[in-house]
Amino acid sequence: MNALLEHVIQRQDTWLGGFNHGEINVSTYRRCRSTGYPTLDAVLTGGGWPLGNTIEMLSDSYGLGSMGTFLPIMRTLSERDQWQAFINPPCTPYAPLLEARDIPTEQVLIVHTASKKDILWSTEQAIKNNTCATVFAWLGEHQYSYAELRKLQLAATEHDNLIVLFRPLKAAQDHAPACLRLKTVAYREFEIIKQRGGKQQIQVNLPVTDDLPNQPQLWELPVNTPEAAIVTVA
């Protein structure tokens, strides 16, 4: 029993909450990285995206209009020289826009799936194998149990990678283990509906001044075919 308790205590995901100390929010997330948007960093626990956790982005436009939010972190994590996985994306990432932001298209891995079971399996494998610095997974209109999503969350805690699950707005009514849940409200505007150890039910507008000048922002993903690895799960 003592050995089991010690194992639980030593698990990184056992201590993922946060607490406020005066004016400073002290996060016990294992690691956070800046989103690249000061306005968003200012309201997120730890001052950036929580790595080693699942993040949910809720939208009725398949999350396409929110991909610009992740461009800076994709650029940062591209330095690891690992895959940037797109699981079941509704359209293909536009290579010229990625290249303009110094995100190597040869790191892009696209996985097409045929069922809910395949989406979950592919996402879990991409997370667990630690070959992907980022994993973007579109879960579609399927219903997911808390246990199914919890399995992805636990897998995410094993490594310091960015894991983003795109789900429809109606999923906001469901309980989910993700440490951060955001909802697309309007163009470049989001609502934080849940974050562990931080403020909730607050809206964030990302000003244009936060973007790199004269660079495409990838707020929409045109249908195109880049030079990327494409895998189909039968």
Domain boundaries, given as residue ranges, for the chain: 31-232
- Rounded average pLDDT over 158-164: 96
Distances, alpha carbon 90 to alpha carbons 128, 167, 171, in Å? 23, 12, 18
Contact at 8 Å (CB) between 139 and 164? no
Burial track 29-61 (b if 16+ CB lie within 10 A, e otherwise):
bbebbbbbbeebbebbbbbbbbbbbbbbbbbee
Compare 92 and 118 and report the one with higher pLDDT. 118
Contact at 8 Å (CB) between 215 and 100? yes
- Rounded average pLDDT over 112-139: 96
Element (H, E) at 128: helix 116-128
pLDDT at 162 over 90: yes
What pLDDT is recorded for position 195?
94
8 half-sphere exposure, CB direction, 13 A CA radius: 5
For residues 35 and 47, give the distance between their C-alpha atoms in angstroms, rounded to a whole number.
Answer: 8
For tokens 């993040």, what's the residue? 55
Contact at 8 Å (CB) between 29 and 53? yes
147's tokens: 């246990």
pLDDT at 29 over 60: no
What pLDDT is recorded for position 26?
39
- Rounded average pLDDT over 113-129: 95
What pLDDT is recorded for position 179?
95
Contact at 8 Å (CB) between 136 and 89? yes
What pLDDT is recorded for position 233?
54
Return the top range by mean pLDDT from 53-62, 114-123, 198-207: 114-123
Q: What is the CATH number of domain 31-232?
A: 3.40.50.300
56's tokens: 């949910």
What pLDDT is recorded for position 172?
94
Q: What is the pLDDT of residues 70-110, one digit of tens each?
A: 999 999 999 999 999 999 998 888 888 888 889 999 999 99
What pLDDT is recorded for position 62?
76
Prediction pTM value: 0.82
What pLDDT is recorded for position 229?
52
Q: Count of residues for the chain?
A: 234
Residue 219: pLDDT band (50, 70, 90) is low
